[in-house]
């Protein structure tokens, strides 16, 4: 680990206000998914800023074809494991499919992720239709991460895992959704499989940090699924890079990923999508 990475790893806890400061100062947010104590501890040592206990665990941990079977109990359990390892990284937990169909249900389940799981932020998919829930969560002191672009919980509605926002009308709708989420009180936004020019535009327009996955190099941070970074995914997405295959060890792969995000060498043009 370089001296710069040691500085990041040994710094104070990553908070909502610190992430906003990092955006203002042009410091990229290094984010990964994590699902258990051991890998979360390795990410913590590598200086990762944010760990997402994503419903992607349904595919990479449980072996399902989609994220849809994941339950709130699943997320609570895995968040609890991850949170035990983290002193610095901000732990974010997903609200899984059908766990927030109305405001009261969403508030209850978000509370479980915070109280039982130890999350410090919750993530939900959706745009303007989620603003009432985002407002209620914010009013109750629960930090919120939005998720636009490719929304895996809507995979059957979307007709597959496809890039979103290429058509002008879709891009305008996504911009309106992003602004609505920010106005409702969201603290962070993830853009998945979005054309790089649109992601750059949204990152520049919003005051909250924007983290990309398959959204080009001009977001305020990057996130990947842990298994893709380590090179153990059988068919990784084109926006991923298998740092594990390049470095030969888990810890070295995580450190290399963190360094590449911070110095701007990841993602490259080959990892993104054009309009």
* Residues annotated as part of the active site: 192
Contact 265, 28 (CB under 8 A): no
Enclosing H/E stretch for 226: helix 226-230
- Mention every residue, 6+ apart, whose C-beta is less than 8 A from residue 75: 53, 55, 57, 93, 94, 95, 96, 113, 117
Q: Which two tokens stand for residue 73?
A: 């109990």
Q: Is 3 exposed, middle or buried (0-12, 13-18, 19+ CB in 10 A)?
A: exposed
In whole angstroms, what is the distance from residue 256 CA to residue 238 CA? 19
Closest CA to 92 of 192, 189, 177: 189
Residue 239 CB coordination number (10 Å): 21
Residues in the chain: 275
| DSSP letters spanning 93-143 | EE--TTS-SSHHHHHHHHHHHHHTT--SEEEEEBSGGGHHHHHHHHHTT--
In whole angstroms, what is the distance from residue 86 CA to residue 32 CA? 13
Q: Is 233 exposed, middle or buried (0-12, 13-18, 19+ CB in 10 A)?
A: middle
Contact 122, 144 (CB under 8 A): yes
């Amino acid at each position: 680990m370089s001296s710069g990475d040691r500085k990041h790893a040994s710094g104070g806890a990553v908070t909502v206000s610190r992430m906003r400061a990092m955006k203002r100062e042009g410091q990229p947010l290094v984010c990964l998914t994590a699902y258990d104590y051991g890998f979360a501890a390795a990410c913590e040592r590598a200086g990762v800023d944010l760990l997402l206990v994503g419903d992607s665990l349904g595919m990479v941990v449980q072996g399902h074809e989609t994220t849809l079977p994941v339950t709130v109990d699943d997320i609570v359990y895995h968040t609890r494991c991850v949170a035990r390892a983290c002193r610095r990284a901000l732990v974010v937990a997903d609200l899984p499919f059908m766990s927030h169909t109305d405001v009261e249900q969403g508030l209850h389940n978000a509370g479980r992720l915070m109280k039982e799981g130890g999350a410090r932020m919750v993530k939900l998919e959706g745009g303007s239709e989620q603003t009432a829930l985002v407002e209620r969560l914010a009013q109750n002191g629960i930090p919120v991460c939005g998720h636009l672009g490719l929304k895996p919980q809507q995979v059957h509605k979307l007709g597959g895992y496809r890039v979103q926002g290429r058509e002008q009308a879709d891009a305008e709708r996504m911009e309106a959704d992003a602004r609505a989420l920010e106005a409702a009180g969201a603290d962070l936004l993830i853009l998945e499989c979005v054309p790089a020019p649109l992601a750059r535009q949204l990152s520049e327009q919003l005051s909250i940090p924007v983290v990309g996955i398959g959204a080009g190099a001009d977001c305020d941070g990057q996130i990947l699924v842990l298994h893709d970074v380590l090179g153990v995914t059988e068919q990784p997405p084109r926006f991923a890079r298998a740092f594990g295959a390049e470095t030969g060890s888990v810890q070295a792969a995580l450190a290399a990923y963190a360094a590449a995000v911070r110095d701007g060498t990841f993602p490259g043009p080959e990892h993104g999508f054009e309009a």
